[in-house]
Amino acid sequence: MEIVVYGHYGFALLMFPTAAADFLEYERFKLIDSIGWFLGEGKLKAFSINSINNESWLNNNMHPADKAIRHQQYNRYVVEEVVPFIHNHSKGLVPIVTTGASLGALHAINNFLRRPDIFSGTIAMSGTYDLKYYSKGYFDENVYFNSPVEYLQNWNDEYMLEKMRKGKIIIASGQGDYEDPNASRRLSDILHSKGVDHWLDLWGHDVKHEWPTWRQMLPYFLSKFN
């Protein structure tokens, strides 16, 4: 699948598209422009990848079990193909921070939480972290292991939890139209219960689920990374 790279140096920002979009979505909607200073100054390199959401949760012609299988295949693609591509392109084992908005936020934080030994942090914007929202209530093992609010509360692998605790986790949401701040609160509560430090940042009731929000959020949060 296609990958587009922006910037020339710095840690890697792995970007997951929203909803049914493709690897160029963040460029089309000017999110890349909003982080132009970080790219130009060599603070980070952004790697924007394709989604498979049209082949899984947003495809109404598929059985939910097949959608969940496709989701798992996507996870393997990220770990087995995208991560090595990033390291090769960056000529070294650079830190990788995941990010995304809306459905991309679920992919971003899910990949970090599943593999905190690979990813260094995550910036999740305006997400819903219960995969049953997208599976319309269907539930099996593949849904469970891709639904952060399900598996994280039962996770007792201290090695992986310690890796999470060393990462930088930002969970952000507006509280305006079409936002679901309670989804972020719920995930935050579970992280607290596991002793995983993170930053829950809920913006105002005038902050909507839309591109201007994410064009403000992403550069703001990137400015907080060392």
Chain segment 109-119, per-residue pLDDT in tens: 999 999 999 99
How large is the average pLDDT for residues 2-21?
A: 95
Left (φ > 0), alpha (ψ -120 to 50) or beta: where does 47 sit?
beta
pLDDT in tens, 79-114: 999 999 999 999 999 999 999 999 999 999 999 999
Q: Give the pair of three-digit tokens for residue 37.
A: 């200073």
pLDDT, tens digit (0-9, with 9 covering 90-100), for 30-40: 999 999 999 99
Q: Is residue 1 within 8 Å of residue 77, measured between CB atoms?
A: yes
Distance from C-alpha of 78 to C-alpha of 115, rounded to nearest angstrom: 11
Q: Can you identify the CATH homologous superfamily of domain 3-222?
A: Alpha/Beta hydrolase fold, catalytic domain (3.40.50.1820)
Alpha helices in 141-180 (DSSP H): 141-144, 148-151, 158-166
pTM: 0.96
What is the predicted pLDDT for the residue at 117? 97
Per-residue tokens: 149: 């609010």
Q: If you ran DSSP here, which 8-state letter would residue 130 be given?
A: -
For residue 20, the model assigns a pLDDT of 81
The rounded mean pLDDT for the chain is: 96
pLDDT in tens, 183-216: 999 999 999 999 999 999 999 999 999 999 999 9
Share of the chain above pLDDT 70, in %: 100
Asked if 124 and 148 count as a contact pair (C-beta separation under 8 A), the reply is: no
Contact 30, 56 (CB under 8 A): no
Residue 134 and residue 129: Cα distance in Å, rounded? 10
pLDDT tens track for 48-65: 999 988 889 888 889 999
Share of the chain above pLDDT 90, in %: 92
